[in-house]
A = this chain, B = another copy of it.
Amino acid sequence: MLKTILIYGITLGLILLILNSIEYLFWVRFHFIEIYIGLVAIIFLGLGIWFGRKKQLKIESNNVTFAQPNYGQLGISKREYEVLKLVGKGFSNQEIADQLFVSNNTIKTHTSRLFEKLEVKNRTQAILKAKQIGMEIE
């Protein structure tokens, strides 16, 4: 980390050095301008790091919080509930299909409807949501 900061500082110095030598600032008479620009760069760099970290923390603390719907009003059928319990045990769609003696496509239909009713996007979220709202899936 220290090495990274050093490289950062060296890079900053190189920028000023190159700018100076290439004479993009040839008409700048006063030397304090460069120092001023360097300070601006450092300050905004620090601001960026601070801002980036703060934003990162927001993302981290943004846990998956589902709304609290009524378990009975979700309209999950018996068959869908069976499938959900097997999904919650870590079985694949094909394994569930074999256990329930139906086709793979049927299980996919059930899981799709489950995801709709549970308002989730995939099976892992479905498990979490089901447990969260108090369903006994295992």
Contact = CB atoms under 8 A, between A and B. Distances in A.
A41 B53 CA distance: 18
Given A28-B33, A99-B59, A128 B89 contact: yes
Q: Which of A4, A7, A59, A90 lies at the interface centre, i.e. has the most chain B CB atoms within 10 A of its CB?
A: A90
SS class, residues of chain A in contact with chain B? helix
Number of copies of this chain that the complex holds: 2
Contact of A36 (B12, B37, B44): B37
Given A4-B4, A7-B1, A124-B123, A55 B49 contact: yes
A135 interface: no
B7 A7 contact: no
Size band of the A side of the interface? Answer: 35 or more
Interface stretch (A15-23, A72-80, A102-110): A15-23
A53 B18 CA distance: 28
B52 A56 contact: yes
Interface in A2-54: 3-5, 7-8, 11-12, 14-16, 18-20, 22-24, 28, 33, 36-37, 40-53
